[in-house]
A = this chain, B = another copy of it.
């Protein structure tokens, strides 16, 4: 009997595991809430109308579904029963396994303030990005026909919460959208009075990189016109705007990039969870007492030299390949060599010809870092078609200063909380 492998999540980690096991004698089932793999690092560019969702997503079936030993299931996992070795789905079906690979990724977290989501949606899924795009573009349109200066100012104020890579990249991209594409085409809106505010609770942005790069990124953002507010703690977000104690930035354009946590189904796995529900894994990426259960990617808490590994695609992919090797060769539990992460660096783009990058102790910024950002992201993308399309759109965007995908189609916030007619939910697990 061939060993049964269930992989939960079709993100970077899940797909890399499936690919590494393609053609082996394992019987693989890959389960995801979505039918598509999403290249998360470029999702912010969908929100600012540079890319189409189709440019950075590809059907999981078209990537691995043709392999005879891989079955793709569109379904929502609600529970793991690691003792019975079963994965249970929302529709009641269950899948047995000999090996389980949990690669669900993480979702947006509001630290107990879930009611903020309505006003400050996150940026994790295709629908998130389309809704953000819709809201941003509608704000410009409403400003063009607004009556009062106060209302125009409110509509032209954009707040990004969270100074991590997503927040920094989104704030920079928003400012470029305002500075380049919007300015000429509106008759009444004065984009020089528009504000983009990036709010960070800590004393520096991009704290995953060194302080010099944080300073450089801050300087670059400020030169572009982004206000970087550090040491700023938000106390409330409501229909009026973003509150810090009794001070309020009036706006309805808020993007939340401040926190992540494990998706709810992870709670069914009993394990040590130091922060945000992420699961502590051992040196072989398996969990305590269950050498047949691996957790990889953003949802895993893998300690390395005193710190957890960063939540980056290369970590997930390297863990995936390592885990696939264990599953294929099946060494005894004590004989597994430990997983070692090879640092591929960390890069955040700020704008055209502006980025910051760190590989180990090596730091670069500016044009060279930006070229590296382009190169790395194109190389890492799963699908050739995606690579080509993104390159094409970037040529258009960065050389032509254009934001081509400025569509308001009537996908409206509020729909997501509506009655789902199908079993497919807005996703939270594309790693």
Known: A406-B36, A407-B53. A185 touches B412 (CB 8 A): no
Give chain B residues whose Cβ lies under 8 Å from the Cβ of A185.
59, 61-62, 65-66, 72
Copies in the complex: 2
Asked whether B404 lies within 8 Å of A412 as measured between CB atoms, the reply is no
* Interchain nearest-CB distance for A263 vs B (Å): 15
- Which residue of chain B has the shortest Cβ distance to A418 in the bound complex? B418
Give chain B residues whose Cβ lies under 8 Å from the Cβ of A126.
407, 409-410
Count of chain A residues near B, Cβ 8 A:
66
A418 to B185 Cα, complex, angstroms: 31
Asked whether A181 lies within 8 Å of B412 as measured between CB atoms, the reply is no
Asked whether A65 lies within 8 Å of B415 as measured between CB atoms, the reply is no
Give chain B residues whose Cβ lies under 8 Å from the Cβ of A424.
138, 141, 408, 410, 412
- Which residue of chain B has the shortest Cβ distance to A420 in the bound complex? B412
Q: Which of A198-206, A312-320, A388-396 contacts its partner? A: A388-396
A259 to B288 Cα, complex, angstroms: 63
Is residue A52 contacting chain B, with contact meaning CB distance below 8 A?
Answer: yes
Asked whether A414 lies within 8 Å of B408 as measured between CB atoms, the reply is no
Is residue A34 contacting chain B, with contact meaning CB distance below 8 A?
Answer: yes
Asked whether B66 lies within 8 Å of A409 as measured between CB atoms, the reply is no
Interfacial residues of chain A within 261-283, with CB under 8 A of chain B in the complex: none
Asked whether A404 lies within 8 Å of B35 as measured between CB atoms, the reply is no
Asked whether B413 lies within 8 Å of A421 as measured between CB atoms, the reply is yes
Cβ contacts A288-318/B at 8 Å (1 or 0 each): 0000000000000000000000000000000
Q: Which of B59, B137, B145, B187 contacts A407 (CB 8 A)?
A: B59
Is residue A54 contacting chain B, with contact meaning CB distance below 8 A?
Answer: yes
Is residue A130 contacting chain B, with contact meaning CB distance below 8 A?
Answer: yes
Is residue A148 contacting chain B, with contact meaning CB distance below 8 A?
Answer: no
A412 to B65 Cα, complex, angstroms: 25
5 contacts between A and B (CB under 8 A): A57-B407, A74-B408, A385-B404, A389-B392, A392-B392
Question: Closest 10 CB pairs between A and B?
Answer: A415-B415, A65-B185, A52-B54, A54-B405, A61-B185, A74-B141, A52-B52, A410-B426, A59-B406, A126-B409
